[in-house]
Chains A and B, each alone.
Chain A
Amino acid sequence: MTAKPLALFLAVALSGLAGAQTWSRSYETGLTAARGGKWTAAREAFQQAVAGRPDDRSAPTVLPGPATERKLWRDGAPYSPNFLAAYSLYRTALSSADPIDSAKTMRSAAGEFETLIAKDQASPESFFFLDVIYTKLGDATKRTTAADKMTKLGKKVDFKVDTEIVAPEEIAAIQARSGAGTSVVTNPNLPIAQPGAGQPTVLPNGVVAPLSDKFAFVVGQSQSRISGGLVPFAASDAQRVHDALVNFAGYPSENVIMLQNASAAEIQSAAAALAKRVGQDATVLIYYAGAGVNLAGKDYLAGVDTESPSDTASMVSKTDLFSNFVQRGARIFSFFEVARPIDANGFYFGREVATVGSIAQIQATRPNAVIGSTYRDNQQVGLFTNAFVQCLSDLRSNRLQIFEFTWQVFFAMRRGSSGTTGGGTTQVCTLPQLTNLAADAKF
Chain B
Amino acid sequence: MKKSPRLTLALAGSALLVAPASAQVPDLLNALDAGGRAMGMGGANNATNVDTVSSYYNPAVLGYMEKREVGLTYRNLPKSITTLSGTRSNPSTRSDGQRGDLNVSHLGYAVPVKDLFGRGSGTLALTYTVGGSIDDLAGANSITDGPLTLQNYRLRREAKSSFYSLSFGKAVSNGFAYGLGLVMASQKIAYSEEATALDGQNNQVPFSGVDASSTGTGFGVIAGALYTPTTAPSWSFGASLRSPINLSGNSSTASEYDKIPGRALLGATWRKEGFREGKDYLLLGGQVTSFFGGESSQFFDRNNQTIFGLGAEYNLGIESGRVPLRIGFATVPSGGDGFGDRNTFTFGVGYRPNRTPVGLDLSWAVPENGGFDFSIAASYRFK
Contact = CB atoms under 8 A, between A and B. Distances in A.
Contacts, number: 112
A17 B175 CA distance: 9
Nearest to B179: A13
Given A16-B176, A67-B269, A344 B230 contact: no
Contact of B239 (A9, A14, A228): A9
A153 interface: no
Contact of A17 (B172, B221, B241, B264): B172
B99 interface: no
A10 B243 CA distance: 13
Given A310-B319, A345-B317, A68 B45 contact: yes
Interface residues of A, number: 33
A65 interface: yes
Nearest to A297: B319
Main SS of the interface on chain A?
loop
Interface in A228-279: 228
Contact of B223 (A9, A68, A296, A345): A9
A2 B261 CA distance: 11
Contact of B354 (A13, A20, A71, A345): A345
A2 B64 contact: no
A9 B241 contact: yes
Interface in A1-49: 2, 5-6, 9-10, 12-14, 16-21
B233 to A, nearest CB: 4
A98 interface: no
A65 B171 contact: yes
Nearest to B226: A66
A376 interface: no
B271 interface: yes
A67 B227 CA distance: 10
B139 interface: no
A65 B65 CA distance: 10
Interface residues of B, number: 49
Given A66-B61, A310-B319, A13 B225 contact: yes
Which residue of A13, A63, A71 has the most chain B CB atoms within 10 A of its CB atom?
A13
A147 interface: no
B171 A64 contact: yes
B230 A5 contact: no
B48 A13 contact: no
Interface in B199-224: 221, 223-224
Interface of B: 45, 48-50, 60-61, 64, 171-178, 221, 223-228, 230, 233-236, 238-239, 241, 243-244, 262, 264, 269-271, 279, 283, 293, 317-322, 352, 354-355
15 contacts: A2-B243, A6-B221, A6-B243, A9-B223, A10-B223, A16-B174, A16-B176, A17-B178, A19-B173, A64-B171, A65-B175, A66-B64, A66-B238, A69-B50, A344-B321
Interface of A: 2, 5-6, 9-10, 12-14, 16-21, 62-71, 227-228, 295-296, 309-310, 343-345
Given A6-B221, A62-B233, 11 more contacts: A2-B293, A6-B243, A20-B173, A66-B238, A67-B48, A67-B283, A68-B269, A68-B271, A69-B64, A310-B320, A344-B321
